[in-house]
A and B are shown apart, each in its own frame.
Chain A
Amino acid sequence: MQSPAVPHQFDPDRLPRLLDIVGPAEAGPFLAQLEHDLSDCARAIAAAVDRSDWPVLREASHVLISLSGSAGALGLQTLAEALNAAAHERNTLALADLFRQLAPDLDRLIALVRVTPPPPASAG
């Protein structure tokens, strides 16, 4: 199976570190929850861009800043910060361009999380 493309400016150490922190017993549920949270952001942003729903864009980009940075997708974090600023400024001109860059990178992160295996639980 082909590995998914990694997001731009990806720090490969961060996601494994999160898995270490939550521990092997929780790693599986954590990955599922992370994929779910990222997918929620993707859906919310895609829908809000179409109708310039600034409050939703502010909230979803706020969450995405944290999730992407925590998972090591630093380029995506920067784009989410720019989207958050654009939402605060109600900057319609910047919105479409930012979304064009952000959406594929977010898809890449979701795909990467989806195929990341949880570490095996240690025996005993």
Chain B
Amino acid sequence: MRSPASSRPPILLIEDTLSLQMVYRAILAGAGYRVAVAGTAAEGLAQFAALQPAIVLVDLVLPDSDGLQLMQTMLAEQPNTSVIAITANGSVNRAVDAMRAGAHDFLVKPFDEGRLLSAVQNALAERRSQSNALAVPQAPDRTLPVDSTGFIGSSEPMGRIHATIASVARSMATVFITGESGTGKELCALAVHAGSARASGPFIALNCGAIPQDLLESEVFGHMKGSFTGAISDKPGAAAAADGGTLFLDEICEMAPALQTKLLRFLQTSTVQPVGATRPKKVNVRIVCATNRDPADAVRRGQFREDLYYRLFVVPIHMPPLRDRGQDVIEIAEAALDRFAREEGREFHGLDPAVRRLLPRLPWPGNVRQLLNVIRNVVVLNPGGWVTLDMLPPGLVDTPVPPADAPRNLLALPELPSTDSLVGLTLAEAERRLIEATMARHGGSIPRTARVLDVSPSTLYRKIEGWKAQTGQAAAPSDSGR
């Protein structure tokens, strides 16, 4: 049932093309909203001051002023206003600028009425959640559901990241996280979710590089029973499961082109259509995505759609490698030592001075994940006391420590097989040796290995499954790839 128009908060529509203004106003009024309209920035600003609208829809190209500037003026006066920026197809980078400047969402013209109403409804839903969050006292300990040790750090780079998360969390802006494997990209995504008004909603994480491409569509968008061989029941898919919360798409650059098109459609319409379903379903999802690649380079190489890139690359966050985080290494190591010791029932006093000097100087190619593994190893294999150099895993202490100005990424790389060592092997054996050596060099990451070998990750997964079947091997090669 529609509530009476007068009980809804007013919406201000600033659009200078009058025929379009008529259409947008009719759509909003037809849905029961009170709508005020303006055709210029000056008129819009006057209406804004008079009406104090909850939501402002503003065209970024106006005859008397830049829409982006107008938006910033309004947000400076009323920071709680939800601004939805409107731009035209072909000028999506302007929308990206608007999101970075604080817009809640953006619409790319021409858009249909469903997209317009969905953007407005999402903005209103966010406002309601924020009001509820303010009204309900928060629990003192909002611990994240996973190990958050890696997100500790008071270094300058991490300070900037915490500030960015704090400013962006409450908007609907898509966050694009980049960084090497093991730097904490998923924790960053969780922090964005936890700081948002949708923190009480689900956080659904999906690794696009770890799922075979032919299954990825049903993993993201779901499927109906019987829609393909093996679909024995309805499956909602990650996008629907994240309704009201956040969908985290890790290794986004590994997504196949066909699915990129569907993801773009999903972002444009806010609807999902499970494989085999006849009708799309509307969902309210905030997207956070991540990659350890350079997404702009993936666009240049034609591996990632440019329009999808602009849709997603709204607020970029780059997670710094651990080697660039100075004393964060010690903070993380001490926090992990404390936690792992409690878990294992051991009593450790801390890191002794020689260990404290060594850790910040190591290159940490596996980043925080590698550091946590080192500390776990120390706790499990030693009874307690001060952590000394001889407790560290073999090889770590001997890791060449670079002089301050040396490039660190050249250290201790596992060797690839020489051509001579391959002579006499079958082609399949040689291929396996090359793949395994490349994986070892890249910390076991299948997505990174696939990139180096210029094959898709699913090709490697198939080969590895084949080797396991041949040898009856139980354990899969470790892959995190994040």
> Which A residues contact B (CB, under 8 angstroms)?
18, 21-23, 26, 29-30, 33-34, 36-37, 59, 62-63, 65-70, 77, 80-81, 84-85
Contact = CB atoms under 8 A, between A and B. Distances in A.
Nearest to A84: B90
B110 interface: yes
Interface stretch (B6-14, B16-24, B375-383, B470-478): B16-24
B88 A21 contact: no
A21 B26 contact: yes
Interface string B251-273: 00000000000000000000000
A85 to B, nearest CB: 6
A26 B110 contact: no
Contacts of A63: 17, 61, 88
A23 B113 CA distance: 14
A36 B21 CA distance: 14
Contacts of B110: 65-66, 68-70, 77
B26 A22 contact: yes
A70 B20 contact: yes
Contacts of B91: 62, 84
Contacts of A62: 61, 88, 90-91
A67 B17 CA distance: 9
Contacts of A37: 17-20
Contact of B89 (A23, A30, A33, A65): A65
Contacts of B22: 22, 26, 29-30, 33
B90 A30 contact: no
Contacts of B27: 21
A55 B20 CA distance: 21
A37 to B, nearest CB: 5
Interface residues of B, number: 17
A18 B111 CA distance: 12
Contacts of B90: 62, 65, 80-81, 84-85
B281 interface: no
Interface in B24-65: 26-27, 30, 61
Which of B19, B20, B23, B89 has its CB near the most chain A CB atoms (within 10 A)?
A: B19
Interface string B345-383: 000000000000000000000000000000000000000
B462 interface: no
B23 A30 contact: yes
B95 to A, nearest CB: 12
Contacts of A33: 18-19, 22
Contacts, number: 64
B88 A65 contact: yes
What 10 A-B pairs have minimum CB-CB distances, sorted nearest first?
A69-B110, A66-B109, A81-B90, A34-B19, A65-B88, A33-B19, A70-B110, A22-B26, A84-B90, A37-B19
Residue with the highest number of chain A CB atoms closer than 10 Å, among B23, B27, B30: B23
Interface of B: 17-20, 22-23, 26-27, 30, 61, 88-91, 109-110, 113
A30 B343 CA distance: 69
Contacts of B17: 37, 63, 66-67
12 contacts: A21-B23, A26-B22, A29-B22, A30-B22, A33-B19, A65-B88, A65-B90, A66-B109, A68-B110, A69-B89, A70-B110, A84-B88
B280 to A, nearest CB: 17
Nearest to B16: A63
Nearest to A63: B17
Contacts of B109: 65-66, 69-70
A98 B18 CA distance: 26
A66 B61 CA distance: 12
Given A67-B20, A81-B89, A85-B90, 10 more contacts: A21-B30, A33-B22, A62-B88, A63-B17, A65-B90, A65-B110, A66-B20, A66-B110, A70-B109, A84-B90
Contacts of A85: 90
B60 to A, nearest CB: 9
Contacts of B26: 21-23, 26
B88 A66 contact: yes
A29 B26 CA distance: 13
In this complex, the member of B17, B27, B30, B89 whose beta carbon has the largest number of chain A beta carbons within 10 angstroms is B17
Contacts of B88: 62-63, 65-66, 84
B111 to A, nearest CB: 9
